[in-house]
Structure 1
Amino acid sequence: MPKVTVNDIDLFYDIKGMGEPLVLISGLLCDHAYWSLILPFLVAQYQVIRIDNRGMGRSSAPDDPYTIQQMADDVAALLDHLGLDKIHLAGHSMGGQIAQEFTLAYPHKVASLLLISSLAKGDERFNSVIETWGKLLPIIDTRLYQKVVLPWIFTDAFYSIPDMVEQLIEFAVHYPFPPKTHTIYHQSQAILNCDTTNRLKNILCPTLVLVGQQDILTPIKFSQQLAVTIPQAELVVLETGGHGFLIESPDAVAQAMRQFLAQVR
C-alpha cells in the first residue's frame, strides 16, 4: 500500500474501487481501517480513497503541534499527487472537522461533503472528554484506555452483545500500528483549537450531515448546528448506533451515504 511525501511527512493512503473519487477521513484514535466495514458498500460505484492522518497508522508521527487546517492541507497535497481535481469528501468526527477546513480552503475541489458524527466547535463537556483522552494514554495501558473511551463510542445495545467489546479491546491492544502517545495529544489539541462556527455559511456545496440518535460524544445538537448553518445541508439522524455507528451499523450508514451521493450525481 502506497505512501507519498507531503508537507514534510510520509502520508499513507489506500485506494479501492472504480468511479468518481470519494475520500474518507477518519477521526481521533483511528486510521484508514476504521472505514473497513463501510468500504464494501461503496467500492462498486466509487474510487474510495482512505487516508491515515498525520500521526496515525502508517503515516509519519511528528512530535510537534498539529492543526486541523494542516491535516486538510495534507489531504490537498495527496490529491495533487493523485491528479484529482474534484472529489466527494467524507469525514467522521475529527475527520469531519478536517473535511470542513478542506472545503473552506479548496471549495473548487469538493463536489459534495459528508459530515458524519462531527461538529463545528465542542461544548464544555465534549472539550473536557477530548482533553482527557489526549493526556491519558501516557498514564495508563492500552487496555484500560480503551475501557475508558469505548463507553462514549458505542451504545448499550452494542455492549449487550456477548464478547463484542472485549474483542474490540483485544484488537486495539494487538493492533500492529497503534497511535503514539504524543499523537493523541497533538490531535486532541487540534480538535480543541478548531472552530468553523462563523465560516460554515461559506460551505456552498451539497452537504450531508449524518449522526446517530444515540451519539453522546458528538450529540445531535452539534449536527443540527452544522445543518442549519451550511446553506445546502441535509440532516439525517439514524435511529441505530451512536458515535461508533460506522462499526455498529455500517449498512445503515452506508445506505445514507449512497442515497445522498446518488442525489448529488
Structure 2
Amino acid sequence: MSDPILFIPGLLCTEALFAPQIAAFADRPIMVANHREHDSIEAIAADILEKAPERFSLVGLSMGGYIAMEIMREAPERVGKLALLDTNARPDTAEQTERRTFLIDLTRKKGFSKVPHLLYPGFVHESREDDAALKQVVVEMARETGPDAFIRQQTALINRIDARPRLGEITCPTLVLVGDGDRLTPPEIAEEIQQNIPGSELVTIEGSGHLSTLEEPQKVTFTLMKFLNRA
C-alpha cells in the first residue's frame, strides 16, 4: 500500500494550492498541514509531525519546502519520499528580511487587505500577472490565512536557518521541481538543492512561476504522480 501524502502549502496558501493534485491522488490518504499557528519553522515542523501519520510521502511548496526540510532534520525515518517544489534551502537575505518586515508593519498599521495584491505579481509567471481567475484564488487563500497567521509565517521565514549543510543527509527518493519563470525561488536555487541531495531529480516546469501547482497543474500533477507512484 502506498504511503499517505502530506502536503505543506506556501506562505499565505491553503489546501487550495494543491487542489488539482489532491483530486488526482483521491485513492490515497491525504493530509494538508496547518502551518499557521506558530512563528518558527521548527515549531511548525514539530506540530505537523505530532499530527502526521507514522510514515508518509512529503510534498512542500515554497515555505512548505522550508518546513519539509526541517521535518527531514527532525524525523527523516518517517518520510518515504520527498518532493520540494519552488523552494529555497538558503536563509533569508537582508533584502528579503527588510521586505518581510515592511509587510508586517504594513499589516499592523494599515491592515492586511493590500498585502495579497502586492505579493501576487511575484508569485506567478510574468504571463499570468493579469490572470484574474488565478489572482482570485491567491487572494482568497490569503484572506483565509488572515493577518495574524501571515505575521507568524513571515516571522518564521525571517528566522529560518540555512538548510544547505544538512541536505546531503537526505537519503529518501527526492524530487526537486521549479517553474522556469519562478521569480522568488528561481531555477538556479532549485539546482543548488538538487545538487546537494544525493540521487535526487530535478524537473523544470515550462510556463510556470512560483505557484506551479496552480499555474501548470497538469504538468505538476503528472510529475508528482510519476514520482510518488514509482515503486
Structure-2-length-normalised TM-score: 0.88
Report the Cα offset of residue 37 of structure 1: 2.6
2:213 corresponds to 1:246: yes
User: Which range moved further: 118-127 or 217-226?
Assistant: 118-127
What corresponds to 1:71 in structure 2?
44
SS of the equivalent of 1:112 reads strand
Mapped partners of 1:120, 1:158: distance in 2: 26
- Which of 196, 202, 209 lines up with 1:229 in the alignment? 196
Can you list the C-alpha shifts for 1:22-55, whole angstroms capped at 9, x where unaligned? 00001111222322232111223x2111122133
State the distance in 1 between where 2:139 and 2:108 align: 19
| Identical-pair percentage | 27
Which amino acid is 2:33 matched to?
I
1:197 — aligned with what? 164
Confirm or deny: 8 A CA contact 1:133 1:184 kept in the other structure.
no
Whether 1:48 aligns to 2:21 is no
Q: Is the 8 A contact 2:177 2:204 kept in 1?
A: yes
Question: Structure 1 108/126 Cα, relative in aligned 2: closer, same or farther at 3 Å?
Answer: same
Supply the distance in 1 between the matched residues of 2:48 and 2:141 (Cα, whole angstroms).
Answer: 26
Q: Which has the higher contact order (CA 8 A, sep 6+)?
A: 2
How big is each residue's C-alpha offset from its partner over 1:178-201, in whole Å with a ceiling of 9 and x where there is no partner? 4233x2222112112222111111
Q: Which moved more, 1:122-131 or 1:207-216?
A: 122-131
Bigger helix share: 2
Over the aligned positions, Cα root-mean-square deviation in angstroms equals 2.3
1:26 aligned to which of 9, 30, 42: 9
Secondary structure at 2:117's aligned position in 1?
helix
The 1:170/1:67 distance shift into structure 2, 3 A limit, reads: closer
Aligned partners of 1:134, 1:221: CA distance in 2, in Å? 28
Cα pair distance change 1:125/1:73, threshold 3 Å: same
Q: Does 1:261 align with 2:228?
A: yes
CA contact (8 A) 1:119 1:222 kept: yes
Question: Partners of 1:244 and 1:23 in 2: how far apart?
Answer: 18
Match of residue 214 from structure 1: 181
CA–CA distance in structure 2, aligned partners of residues 92 and 166 of structure 1? 18
Deviating more after overlay: 239-248 vs 87-96: 239-248
Corresponding residue SS for 1:246: helix
1:149 aligns with 2:119: yes
TM-aligned CA deviation for residue 218 of structure 1: 1.0
Structure 1 residue 258: deviation in Å?
0.9
What displacement does 1:137 show?
Answer: 2.0
| Structure 1 residue runs without a partner (length 5+) | 1-17, 56-61
The match for 1:89 among 35, 53, 58 is 58
| 1:35 maps onto 2:18 in alignment | yes
- Residue by residue over 1:80-136, the C-alpha shift from the partner in whole angstroms, topping out at 9 and shown as x without a partner, is xxxx32110011101111111111211110101000111111445544444433433
Higher strand share: 1
The unaligned stretches of length 5 or more in structure 2 are none
Contact 1:135/1:185 (8 A) holds in 2 = no
Cα distance 1:239–1:127, how it changes in 2: closer, same or farther (>3 A)?
farther
- Deviation, 1:165, is 5.3
Check whether the contact 2:117–2:139 (CA below 8 A) recurs between aligned residues.
no
